[in-house]
């Protein structure tokens, strides 16, 4: 897992799914109730794989983590908060997200959002963005982490590990 940090961004080269899981494990201790993680990237770029690894790490188990593509949201219990995993790809309009309980998720739990652009103006500024992009090789990816609020300081700690 190659890591570079510049101007508040953390760029991590992920050779395979194991590297993706290690990145999720490094991020997990930094998360706390009220955090929003926006997962960006093209179809198949690794957003769900990253979310799955992060949920398993936070829930401290071999939790079955199906993609919420059709249900739009799945929830999981972690020791300190609930985890809400949204996949908004099929969301018709941003306002529809309120029917899914996103306000409760953002207030009380850790919220993982795939296709966050579907939220439009409802996407909070103080969020961590995890952008997954294809890299060289069939399973290689590049993850770019950046965020508002105190995420710059939190990510700085990850860069030095």
Q: Report in angstroms the alpha-carbon separations of 56 from 28, 52, 135, 160.
A: 10, 6, 25, 24
Q: Is residue 7 part of a domain?
A: no
Q: How many C-beta atoms surround the C-beta of residue 75 within 10 A?
A: 15
What is the structure's pLDDT at 159? 65
pTM of the full structure: 0.90
Q: Is residue 125 part of a domain?
A: yes
Expressed as residue numbers, the domain containing 76 is 19-133
| Ranges of the chain with pLDDT below 70 | 1-7, 62-63, 66, 69-70, 159-161
What is the structure's pLDDT at 157? 73
Residue pLDDT, tens place only, 46-91: 999 999 999 999 997 766 776 776 678 999 999 999 999 999 998 8
What is the structure's pLDDT at 6? 61
What is the structure's pLDDT at 119? 94
What is the structure's pLDDT at 14? 93
Q: Output Rg (C-alpha) for the chain, integer angstroms.
A: 15
Q: Is residue 156 part of a domain?
A: no
Q: Is residue 107 part of a domain?
A: yes
The total domain count for the chain is 1
CATH number, domain containing residue 25: 3.40.50.300
- Closest to 28 in 3D by CA, of 158, 160, 126: 158
Residues in contact with 34: Cβ distance below 8 Å, sequence separation at least 6, in sequence order: 106, 107, 108, 109, 110
What is the structure's pLDDT at 66? 67
What is the structure's pLDDT at 3? 55
Q: Is residue 151 part of a domain?
A: no
Strand ranges (DSSP E) for the chain?
A: 2-6, 9-14, 36-40, 73-77, 82-87, 110-114, 128-134, 141-147
How far is Cα 68 from Cα 18, in angstroms, rounded to an integer? Answer: 22
Q: Report in angstroms the alpha-carbon separations of 63 from 52, 121, 129.
A: 9, 32, 24
């Amino acid at each position: 897992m190659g890591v570079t940090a510049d101007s508040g961004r953390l760029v991590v080269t992920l050779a395979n799914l194991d590297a993706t899981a290690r990145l999720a494990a490094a991020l997990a201790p930094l998360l706390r109730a009220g955090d929003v993680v926006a997962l960006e990237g093209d179809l198949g770029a690794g957003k769900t794989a990253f979310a799955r690894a992060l949920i398993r790490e936070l829930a401290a188990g071999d939790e079955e983590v199906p993609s919420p593509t059709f249900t739009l949201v799945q929830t999981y219990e972690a020791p300190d908060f609930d985890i809400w995993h949204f996949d908004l790809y099929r969301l018709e309009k941003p306002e529809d997200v309120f029917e899914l309980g996103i306000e409760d998720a953002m207030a009380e739990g850790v919220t993982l959002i795939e296709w966050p652009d579907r939220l439009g103006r409802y996407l909070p500024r103080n969020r961590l963005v995890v952008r997954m992009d294809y890299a060289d090789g069939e399973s290689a990816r590049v993850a770019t982490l950046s965020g508002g609020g105190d995420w710059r300081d939190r990510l700085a700690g990850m860069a030095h590990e």
